Amino acid sequence: MLDILTAAASAEAPPAWVQFLPLVGMGLIFWFLIIRPQMKRQKEHQEKVAGIKKGDKVVTAGGLVGKVVKVDDDYAELDLGGGTRVKAVKATIGDVIPPAGAKPAND
């Protein structure tokens, strides 16, 4: 009985860095599954917004669909139809609608 107690008492705890390995692993999983894809989508959106030119059809984050009439550094002037023009912040433009004659990417 004494041998079991002395053996248990003499067992050393694992090094501190081994105890942090699960946390590091979870951090890496979090990075690759959540943060990295979000950064990629954000970069693609910024490139798309930077490439907006006169004549493009766009959808704003608020759901308005219009044709770009004028573009400057921070704003885009949109024609919503019927002579209605609005000035939108370029960062709020959600998507650029491809022309009607363009072939879909999945065909």
Residue 105 — pLDDT band, cuts 50, 70, 90? low
**Structural contact between residues 76 and 70, judged by C-beta atoms closer than 8 angstroms:** yes
Q: Is pLDDT at 96 greater than 80 in this prediction?
A: yes
In the chain, what is the greatest distance between 2 CA atoms, to the nearest angstrom? 94
Which helix (H) or strand (E) covers residue 28, if one does?
helix 16-30
Instruction: State both tokens at 93.
Output: 């433009």
Q: How far apart are CA 107 and CA 94, in angstroms?
A: 24
- Single pTM value for the model: 0.65
What is the overall mean pLDDT for the chain? 86
Q: Report percent pLDDT > 90 for the chain.
A: 59
CA distances from 58 to 44, 63, 103 (A): 15, 10, 18
Give the pLDDT mean for 61-68: 93
Give 26-58 pLDDT, tens digit per residue: 999 999 999 999 999 999 999 998 999 999 999
Task: State the pLDDT at residue 3.
Answer: 57
Q: How far apart are CA 88 and CA 76, in angstroms?
A: 5
Task: State the pLDDT at residue 40.
Answer: 95
